[in-house]
Structure 1
């Protein structure tokens, strides 16, 4: 039963639909490919479907050299405090480069300017672009900002809503032969408060893949 709900949640998270009948068929928006591959068969055709979805989203890839730009700290507009593990953005129009699974010791974590799962602080009304790259060579990762605080269960996307319109990036595939996949989203931090950025892939936030996101008045 847990496996069933995992598949349902994953299909919904990838933008698909699910029909609840005795054969449990899944038809997603990725060219009508079937995820279940037949009655009770969990193999399916996720690979082909995800490739089509990547094209629809216009996902790009970057090389290892281009990945270095995610670690480069801007000269102005950002304050980094390693002692408090905080990144504070001072401008009203900002880009936050985030690395999913920044290294082998932090597979279930986000990296921002060399810090792991830091508290990100922005100003109310800031127009924010999150640029997420997946450095993981084993699994996909994603990100969303939610008001719900930890701890998180294994299905965070079923329990948490997006805090701001557009403050979500759907799953980004693992590293491929062409490089690291990158996606981005832009939103406005309209309301002051304490929020959290989490990976909504099943089980990832529960394993610690989240950080605090603070909007100051």
Structure 2
């Protein structure tokens, strides 16, 4: 792991610990060197800074692939190969032994995913399918990620409770977009056990604010 990546990860971890202490204990513990990170970005309903703002800035220049805003818009509207889409029910059903789709964070509204031209649709995949999700963060001042989990989605800090349901089924956070483009990464996992799961953004409070959807794994009838 490069020194730059390690510094970014440590910075994000320190920021999250500070947020947890501030919210849980009702008092603020200053984080050295983070004044600039906390000094901009969106406010939450109760006046706190959204922790995703600090993470977005900390990860903004992280290495990795990028896409343009135009490409992100195209991916947000793209119907996955072999998928059945019900726009009235806001549902995407994929078939086959290998399935893939794009999930664009904060593309149409702040706390949401755009998948197949819909906001936070229900996604259904076959049991045993190899699933690939291309995650794109379209937000220009906040970090977002995605995890497929069995955990309760209303936890304030799901990154502590919402572990991936399967190995590889989670991406904690991508940094905010910059002039270099929008961060993107792909997670790949095997949908091994039938059942109902949730895909959500694991950044603190984002799932509670609506950044989640149903993810179902079912046997073919």
For this structure pair, what is the TM-score category when the shorter chain's length is used for normalisation? 0.7 to 0.9
Shift of 1:160: 2.2
Task: State yes or no: 1:114 paired with 2:110.
Answer: no
CA deviation profile, 1:143-194 (whole Å, cap 9, x unmatched): 10111244x1211111222101000012111111011111111100000000
Partner residue of 2:130?
A: 127
Q: Write the distance in 2 (CA, Å) between the matches of 1:144 and 1:87.
A: 18
Partner residue of 2:35?
A: 43
SS of 1:67 mapped into structure 2: helix
CA deviation profile, 1:42-74 (whole Å, cap 9, x unmatched): 43887896367x22xxx2111133224412224
Against the structure 1 CA distance between its residues 109 and 51, is the aligned structure 2 distance closer, same or farther, given a 3 Å change threshold?
closer
CA deviation profile, 1:74-119 (whole Å, cap 9, x unmatched): 4x5100001111000012211110100122xx21011101111100
Against the structure 1 CA distance between its residues 216 and 62, is the aligned structure 2 distance closer, same or farther, given a 3 Å change threshold?
same
Against the structure 1 CA distance between its residues 136 and 44, is the aligned structure 2 distance closer, same or farther, given a 3 Å change threshold?
closer
Aligned residues of 2:147 and 2:162 also touching (Cα < 8 A): no
Which structure 2 residue ranges, 5 or more long, are not aligned?
1-9, 18-29, 38-53
Counterpart of 1:79 (choices 69, 77, 84) is 84
User: Size of the alignment, in residue pairs?
Assistant: 180
1:51-62 to structure 2, matched below 5 A, reads 54-55=62-63, 59-62=64-67
CA RMSD, 1 decimal: 2.8
1:130-149 to structure 2, matched below 5 A, reads 130-149=133-152
Shift of 1:36: 3.6
Q: Write the distance in 1 (CA, Å) between the matches of 2:172 and 2:34.
A: 22
Q: Write the distance in 1 (CA, Å) between the matches of 2:60 and 2:78.
A: 30
Q: Write the distance in 2 (CA, Å) between the matches of 1:186 and 1:90.
A: 16
Q: Using structure 2 for the length normalisation, give the TM-score.
A: 0.73
Against the structure 1 CA distance between its residues 13 and 193, is the aligned structure 2 distance closer, same or farther, given a 3 Å change threshold?
farther
Q: Write the distance in 2 (CA, Å) between the matches of 1:189 and 1:85.
A: 21
Against the structure 1 CA distance between its residues 51 and 141, is the aligned structure 2 distance closer, same or farther, given a 3 Å change threshold?
closer
SS of 1:95 mapped into structure 2: strand
Which structure 1 residue ranges, 5 or more long, are not aligned?
1-7, 17-34
